[in-house]
Chains A and B, each alone.
Chain A
Amino acid sequence: MFGKLSGWLSSIFGKKHVRIGIYGPPNAGKTTLANRIAMDWAGEIVGEVSEIPHETRKVQKKDRVVIRDGKASLTLDLIDTPGIATKIDYHDFLEFGIDEEDAKQRAKEATEGVIEAIKWLDNVDGVILLMDSTKNPFTQVNITIFGNLEARELPFIIAANKIDMNGSPATLQSAFPQHEVVPISALEGINMDLFYEAILKTFGKKGR
């Protein structure tokens, strides 16, 4: 009864509290973005970052992050998910100076993280699909997540990260022409005002 009433009120007045997952391939900068959002609006970070792929191997959460823009506000429960990959080879971690046993353990945890990230798709109200604008946008992980969001009719934002590293958000935009792509640097905090505007517009809107 309460759920129905809440859904009806949301459809009239717009959503006020949503659970948003940050998804993307490993090393796209998901945790850096989660930290940026949480620092900007709650003064705390969500998790550690590293240049070694699969640093985030368990879902990390930051609840009740309130984003404001003038009169509009939206409360986010942020879900920072492990990077989704189709292959995980422990040898790749050895290149970063990790010893073999730790590399194997990291690979095992990374596989579990991918599964956890996929399962969380059933429990989010919307998604920030984070892509690395310095890389080819047509990777299978990008395409698979994109297709899932379309099929599930989940509201989502595509953020083209790493524009401070000569990324090409225009290439990314041309790959997904039907969707607005927000060019950002989560690390340097570039265009975050545009990004927060997109969050309020996409996840707080009426009639979803």
Chain B
Amino acid sequence: MEIKVNFISQEKLNGFSTDEKLEFILKEVEKGQILVLERGLKAEEQTKLIEMTMNDVNEKFTGIEMESYIEEKPTFLQKLLGKNSARMTIVGPAGTLKTIYKDKDVIQAVIVGKKK
């Protein structure tokens, strides 16, 4: 039983617009992929991804499991430069990725594989 996890670099996602980025993530997750995003999604992007996910939920695809850390309030300078302060985000299909513990700095998740 092999589980594939894709680590996506900041550079790859930087080349996308917000919509392209979220469409890419959701498409991959719907294919069953688990993604670890080096530079996490901002809170507004997370809500947009939840909205897009809800539009796609059906009897087979029940949604996503997404985990990130609490986003620090951006400083004035970060806001001015449009800098993303979000830390890593992990996202995968709800049926495959399951969070078992989480606190301010630790995310513990298990990946549930299907038997061949």
Q: Which residues of A contact B (CB under 8 A)?
A: 84-90, 104, 107, 111-112, 114-115, 118-119, 121, 136, 138-140, 143-144, 146-148, 150-151, 175-176, 178
Contacts and interface: CB of A to CB of B under 8 A. Distances in A.
B66 to A, nearest CB: 5
A84 B50 contact: yes
Contacts of A148: 43-44, 46-47
Interface stretch (B1-9, B10-18, B31-39, B52-60): B52-60
Nearest to B46: A144
A121 B50 contact: no
Contact of A85 (B44, B63, B71, B103): B63
A58 B55 CA distance: 16
B46 A111 contact: no
Can you list the 3 inter-chain pairs with the closest CB atoms, starting with the nearest? A147-B43, A87-B63, A87-B94
B54 A144 contact: no
Contacts of A178: 73
Of A89, A138, A139, which is in contact with the most chain B CB atoms at under 10 Å from its CB? A138
A176 B71 CA distance: 11
A112 B54 contact: yes
Given A115-B55, A121-B47, A144-B46, A89 B62 contact: yes
16 contacts: A85-B50, A86-B63, A87-B64, A89-B94, A90-B59, A111-B54, A111-B55, A115-B54, A138-B103, A140-B68, A143-B70, A144-B47, A146-B70, A150-B73, A175-B70, A175-B104
A200 B103 CA distance: 32
B102 A147 contact: no
Interface residues of B, number: 29
**What DSSP secondary structure best describes chain A's contact surface?**
helix
Nearest to A153: B73
B54 A143 contact: no
B43 A104 contact: no
B103 A88 contact: no
Contacts of A87: 53, 57, 62-65, 94
Contact of A86 (B43, B94, B103): B94
B46 A147 contact: yes
A151 B104 CA distance: 19
Nearest to A119: B51
Nearest to B70: A143
Contacts of A84: 50
A146 B59 CA distance: 30
Contact of B66 (A86, A104, A176): A86
Contacts of A138: 70, 102-104
A148 B45 CA distance: 9
B42 A88 contact: no
A107 B66 contact: no
B50 A144 contact: yes
Contacts of A144: 43, 46-47, 50, 66
